[in-house]
Amino acid sequence: MVGVITAIIFIPLLGALAVFVWPQRNCRVIALIFNAISAACAVGLWRKFDATATGLQFVERHAWMPAINAEYLVGVDGLSLLLVLLTSLIIPFAFLARPVPDGGRGFYATMLVMQFALYGTFTAQNFVLWFLFYEMSLIPAFLLIKIWGGENRDRAATKFFLYTFLGSVAMLLSFLGIYFVNGTFDFAALADLGKYGLLSGKVAWLAFAGIFIGLAVKVPLFPFHTWLPDAYQTAPTGVSMVLTGVLSKMGVYGFVRLLLPLFPNEIKIIGPWLLALAVCSIVFAPLAAWAQRDLKRMVAYLSINHLGYCMLALFALAASPAAAANIDTHAALSGVFMQIFNHGITAAALFYFVGLLEQRRGARGIGDFGGLMQQTPLLCGWMSVAMFSSLGLPGLNGVIGEFLIFKGAFAITAWFTAIAVLGLLVTAIVFVRVMQSLFSGPLAESCGAFPDLLQGEKFVVVPVILLMFAIGIAPQFMFNIFNTTVVHMARLFG
């Protein structure tokens, strides 16, 4: 009998097949129908999820490749469920962005294959199965950029593929070394062994480096981020939304699930260097965003900044577990989980609004607009909410994760966290400059015929913005998903 998690994973794959069978003009409708089915299953999973239970739930275990001790093993805890829900939200949101003019059938089918891979990545509990899904997401992302991307798409797609593929090869070699020594690919078993050291000597450091590089490229973490601005800039709006909203979370998820539990001793030794990389991501990325004239590149760099907050908290916890009281450990981990979800919806919303501006103007440079508040007050108002959410304005979802991350990180590593606060200041300057350039001043001649938010666009924007307010005002329903998982992981870090 097929379990609910297996159903969630494979429904998008069935949808991809259905898109090829149905007429071309209905492909987006078919894709949205299968998205709705998988989202309904994910919500049902959420409703049946026991928030007080420790460990994995809805576990499905089947023999797969006994010769190498690889099983079909899937299950969810609070973190996995959170990411399954995020995927179920972002993919249809991306489908409702600007339609693809040509080749829509292939586009939506490829997006559904990527959704299938994302679901599998966030629920697999055996490395072989996890790596299969992890790598499977690379192929549709590459094709979506290369086939349906904009200017310089060949270069951006090739750069994206090379960075992520080489990182994945390094990670695979590291796990093969771990398997030859320990004889298992199971995440839980490896986490137990990691307390005492999976490997020893130089081999341990080589394995650590391979997994670290593979995950750092995916986040991406400074200085492994240089593929991201090109890929996000040239990708279609919907693809950029998925890349920043969900695909980047695979790297953060890998750090939480793999690197930190398996190599606690190595992280303690080089903790200050890892914290320095996280701080560089937080501070340098908004400085780079400040220098951009292209709105998509600006949002891309700010995405690096916000994920840097997650890495700051994780490295602080892993590098100095004895320095934090339990309450600070819980606060930092809860902040990471909230930031993962909140950044997903906020960054995707910002790319959606940039896509609307590009659709109306045919360009997306900051200098291509001006005085939009006079012509499109609704669009400017809702876009401002998304910007304030990204900035961390109280009352919106962005403040919850950032506040908890800084609260926990300050108790552990005050100096690194104090420097990271500069990233908030630069981010505020970037958004103020953008709002002033786009919304204020005299109306640009090229923007005189802009329509305000259309009815269909309102149906897309309003629910997402209301979700930002709901999380910012009453976030407890989100904490209930992962509170027990946070407590369990805090014990691992301790």
pLDDT digits (tens, 9 = 90+) for 329-358: 788 888 899 999 999 999 999 999 998 888
pLDDT digits (tens, 9 = 90+) for 309-334: 989 988 888 776 554 445 577 888 88
pLDDT digits (tens, 9 = 90+) for 196-225: 777 677 888 888 888 899 888 888 888 888
> Would you state the pLDDT for residue 105?
81
Over 70: is that where the pLDDT of 24 sits? no
pLDDT digits (tens, 9 = 90+) for 233-277: 888 888 889 988 888 888 899 888 888 888 888 888 888 888 999
More confident residue, 103 or 425: 425
Torsional class of 394: left (φ above 0), alpha (ψ -120 to 50), beta (otherwise)? beta
How many domains in the chain? 1
Supply 321's token pair: 């577990």
User: Over the chain, what is the mean pLDDT?
Assistant: 85
Query: Has residue 298 been placed in a domain?
Result: yes
> Would you state the pLDDT for residue 207?
85
> Would you state the pLDDT for residue 324?
47
Phi, psi of 448 (to 5 degrees): -65, -25
Start-end of H helices in 362-449: 372-375, 377-391, 398-412, 414-439
Task: pLDDT band for 361, please (50, 70, 90 cuts).
Answer: confident
Sign of CA dihedral 204, 262, 408, 222: positive
Percent of the chain with pLDDT over 90: 15
- Closest of 153, 136, 133 to residue 145, by C-alpha: 153
Phi, psi of 133 (to 5 degrees): -65, -40
Task: Say whether 60 sits in a helix, a strand or coil.
Answer: strand
Mean pLDDT of the region 55-76: 83
Percent of the chain with pLDDT over 70: 95
Query: Has residue 114 been placed in a domain?
Result: no
pLDDT digits (tens, 9 = 90+) for 2-16: 688 899 999 999 998
Query: Has residue 2 been placed in a domain?
Result: no
- The answer to whether 110 and 20 are in contact (CB under 8 A) is no
Query: Has residue 91 been placed in a domain?
Result: no
Query: Has residue 411 been placed in a domain?
Result: yes
Supply 107's token pair: 């586009």
Over 90: is that where the pLDDT of 423 sits? no
Query: Has residue 6 been placed in a domain?
Result: no
Task: Say whether 23 sits in a helix, a strand or coil.
Answer: coil
> Would you state the pLDDT for residue 14?
92
> Would you state the pLDDT for residue 233?
85
**Angstrom distance (rounded) from CA 144 to CA 299:** 19
Phi, psi of 126 (to 5 degrees): -125, 135
Q: Which residues pair with 124 in a beta bridge?
A: 74
User: Out of 92-96, 404-408, 429-433, 487-491, which region has the weakest mean confidence (pLDDT)?
Assistant: 487-491
Task: pLDDT band for 99, please (50, 70, 90 cuts).
Answer: low
Nearest-5° Cα angle at 219, 281 to 190: 120
**Angstrom distance (rounded) from CA 63 to CA 6:** 15
More confident residue, 104 or 113: 113
Query: Domain range spanning residue 296?
Result: 271-494
> Would you state the pLDDT for residue 103?
56
Mean pLDDT of the region 91-120: 83
Query: Has residue 385 been placed in a domain?
Result: yes
Q: Which residue has the tokens 């780079």?
A: 288
> Would you state the pLDDT for residue 116?
94
pLDDT digits (tens, 9 = 90+) for 365-392: 887 787 888 888 888 889 899 999 988 8
> Would you state the pLDDT for residue 100?
65
Query: Has residue 238 been placed in a domain?
Result: no
Over 80: is that where the pLDDT of 184 sits? no
Buried/exposed code over 237-256 (b: 16+ C-beta within 10 A; e: otherwise)? bbbbbbbbbbbbbbbbbbbb
